[in-house]
Amino acid sequence: MLSETKSRDCQGIIIFDTTLRDGEQSPGASLNTKQKLEIAQQLSILGVDVIEAGFPVSSDGDFEAVSLVAKKIKGPVICGLARALKNDIDVCFDAVKHAKKNRIHIFLATSPIHMKYKLKMSPEDVFQKAVDAVKYAKNKISDVEFSAEDASRSELDFLCRVVEGVIDAGATTVNIPDTVGYSVPSEFGEIISKLFSRVPNIHKAVISVHCHNDLGLATANSLSAVINGVRQIECTMNGLGERAGNASLEEIVMCLHTRKKLFNFETNIKTTEISKTSKLVSSLTGMMIQQNKAIVGGNAFAHEAGIHQHGVLAKAQTYEIMTPQSIGLKSSSIVLGKHSGRHAFEKKMAELGFKLTDKEFEKAFSDFKALADKKKNVYDEDIEAIIENELAEEKQIYELSDIFISSGSSVKPIAKIKLKKDKKLFFAEESGDGPVDSSYKAIEKIIGQKFKLVDYSLKSVSIGKDAVGEAIVKIEHKGEIFVGRGTSTDIIEASVKAYLSAINRILRNKK
């Protein structure tokens, strides 16, 4: 059992990152050579100890990528994967030999089902092949890792024999993979414990684990292995990998970091680089991060329930066991929705610069709750619109009265805009680069002033052919940013409303 009061010095855990090898094997993920190098550079900044850059013999592209990473990346050990075949090992060596610190990682299955149906080899032949492969690689390179594929479903006696044999042959690291994510923490920890008690030369090598997440236990199994003697964990950013993925690097690292007194282990990872690395991997692989993903998901530091928001605002540690800054984020996010309470709403209004009387606050809060029942998230612009409606409708200096658009692939776009101000109508017609640009020019013509648009976004806030479109624009004026929002089932009208909303804020600010 672990104790919260351990006093011995912290021990180091080697973080072996296989995002570029096993991570890229995720269905739907693919990286070119340039992208692999970009991720490898960030992994080096992150502080991983080993980068498994690919499987060189698998393709010319993978060989090129591993070679480039080996040449360009300084700091981490650069590793390549190889089957227990001389040609694989030769090709792997040629790819990693350029690195100052390099490693060949050999794998061979040791479970009965793999030996019988995949390898079609006897246990004796598998044992000899593993030993011979390690010896062959050891003649080329000093750092050799061996993986007993499907170790968690292997017979323990045979697994012990293989581990002992490859260490005698020169393996500096021996990996015990839960290749198909079959094991559970108590069982997997016991396998590791028995290896340490039964393999006489086991302390001559670093023992590693590589756990898959088929049952959602990859992180738990990896940590159980650490408790029982393992000193290297193989993992990927965002938990990418075959099928359900691998143990997630950010989960492993932040578990050890957050519960340091419990585990009494540390890593070389710069945790403040985690968020940046996660986003880079997601962007380049095209594998989106689920919102509720631990550590790096969009909701990991977001709070909507009123009681949670009140607690976090009073003392962050009430509902946050780690700080968002610890992984490189600026702050937590208070998400306003139907579960939010008065405390969060009041704080949001203060952030937006509003000061209301008690009566105005109650009315605004009631309108906020009504809106929150209709849409999942309520944004700053929604809050501003609610407050503006409460304070005075006449503050809308210009209002959209009518809009007419003529546009097409072979015709010049024309926008006819009619605005109302002080009960008077103003009309302008303009042409531009598309219907939105034309409309914005017509608005500027009426108002008699040009504005600098710095951001424009459009998204659907509902589903179906009649979905409501939400346009958000940002206008820069005298060094200050003014945000405008507009909604409509007509995206041009939504865009015009958003632009007009931001301009009205600028004009009200002048007054």
In CATH, what number is assigned to the domain containing residue 190? 3.20.20.70
Q: 295 lies in a domain?
A: no
Band of the pLDDT at 7, cuts 50, 70, 90? very low
pLDDT mean over 453-462 = 80
pLDDT for the residue 411: 86
Cβ–Cβ < 8 Å for 53, 20: yes
463 and 420 both lie in a single domain: yes
48 and 140 both lie in a single domain: yes
pLDDT for the residue 89: 98
Q: What is the pLDDT of residues 132-143, one digit of tens each?
A: 999 999 999 999
pLDDT for the residue 436: 94
Q: Phi, psi (5° rounding) for residue 7? A: -115, -5
pLDDT for the residue 386: 65
Other CB atoms within a 10 A radius of the CB of residue 399 amount to 13
Q: What is the pLDDT of residues 29-57, one digit of tens each?
A: 778 899 999 999 999 999 999 999 999 99
Domain boundary among 285, 317, 338: 285
Q: What is the pLDDT of residues 492-511, one digit of tens each?
A: 988 998 899 889 888 887 76
Spatial distance between the Cα atoms of 96 and 94, rounded to a whole number of angstroms: 6
Q: In what order do the strands lie in the sheet with 469-477?
A: 452-460, 469-477, 480-488
Band of the pLDDT at 305, cuts 50, 70, 90? very low
pLDDT for the residue 71: 97
Domain boundary among 225, 259, 285: 285
Band of the pLDDT at 10, cuts 50, 70, 90? low
Beta-carbon contacts of 443 under 8 Å, excluding residues fewer than 6 positions away, are: 398, 417, 419, 428, 496, 499, 500, 503
pLDDT for the residue 388: 57
Spatial distance between the Cα atoms of 318 and 300, rounded to a whole number of angstroms: 15
257 and 336 both lie in a single domain: no
Cβ–Cβ < 8 Å for 263, 227: yes
313 and 267 both lie in a single domain: no
112 and 243 both lie in a single domain: yes
Domain boundary among 254, 285, 316: 285
Of 202 and 34, the one with more pLDDT: 202
167 and 260 both lie in a single domain: yes
DSSP reduced 3-state for 430:
strand
Of 316 and 268, the one with more pLDDT: 268
User: Which DSSP category does 248 fall into?
Assistant: B
Bridge partners, 482 (sequence order): 475
Q: How far is CA 466 from CA 378, 463, 469, in A?
A: 21, 7, 9
pLDDT for the residue 332: 54
Q: Are strands 399-408 and 411-421 parallel, antiparallel or unpaired?
A: antiparallel
437 and 476 both lie in a single domain: yes
Q: 6 lies in a domain?
A: no
Other CB atoms within a 10 A radius of the CB of residue 23 amount to 27
pLDDT for the residue 4: 42
Highest mean pLDDT among 7-21, 261-275, 302-316, 448-462: 261-275
150 and 244 both lie in a single domain: yes
40 and 187 both lie in a single domain: yes
pLDDT for the residue 353: 65
Q: 290 lies in a domain?
A: no
Band of the pLDDT at 333, cuts 50, 70, 90? low
Q: 386 lies in a domain?
A: no
Q: What is the pLDDT of residues 409-438, one digit of tens each?
A: 888 999 999 999 988 999 999 999 999 999
Q: At what angle do helices 342-351 and 380-391 cross, to 10 degrees?
A: 80
Percent of the chain with pLDDT over 70: 83
The CATH number covering residue 434 comes to: 3.30.160.270
209 and 92 both lie in a single domain: yes
Of 113 and 484, the one with more pLDDT: 113
pLDDT for the residue 309: 47
Q: Given CA atoms 420, 426, 431, 433 in this order, what sign does their dihedral have?
A: negative
pLDDT for the residue 463: 47
Does the pLDDT value for residue 155 go beyond 90?
A: yes
192 and 315 both lie in a single domain: no
Least confident of 12-21, 41-50, 305-314: 305-314
The mean of the pLDDT values for the chain is 86
Q: 179 lies in a domain?
A: yes
Q: 380 lies in a domain?
A: no
- Look at residues 355, 313, 314, 352 and name the one whose alpha carbon lies nearest to residue 334: 313
pLDDT for the residue 462: 46
* Residue 22 structure tokens: 């096993």
| Containing structural domain, residue 143 | 11-285
156 and 266 both lie in a single domain: yes
pLDDT for the residue 304: 45
Q: 400 lies in a domain?
A: yes
Highest mean pLDDT among 223-232, 356-365, 383-392: 223-232
Does the pLDDT value for residue 298 go beyond 70?
A: no
Cβ–Cβ < 8 Å for 44, 54: no
Q: 387 lies in a domain?
A: no
Count of domains in the chain? 3
Percent of the chain with pLDDT over 90: 61
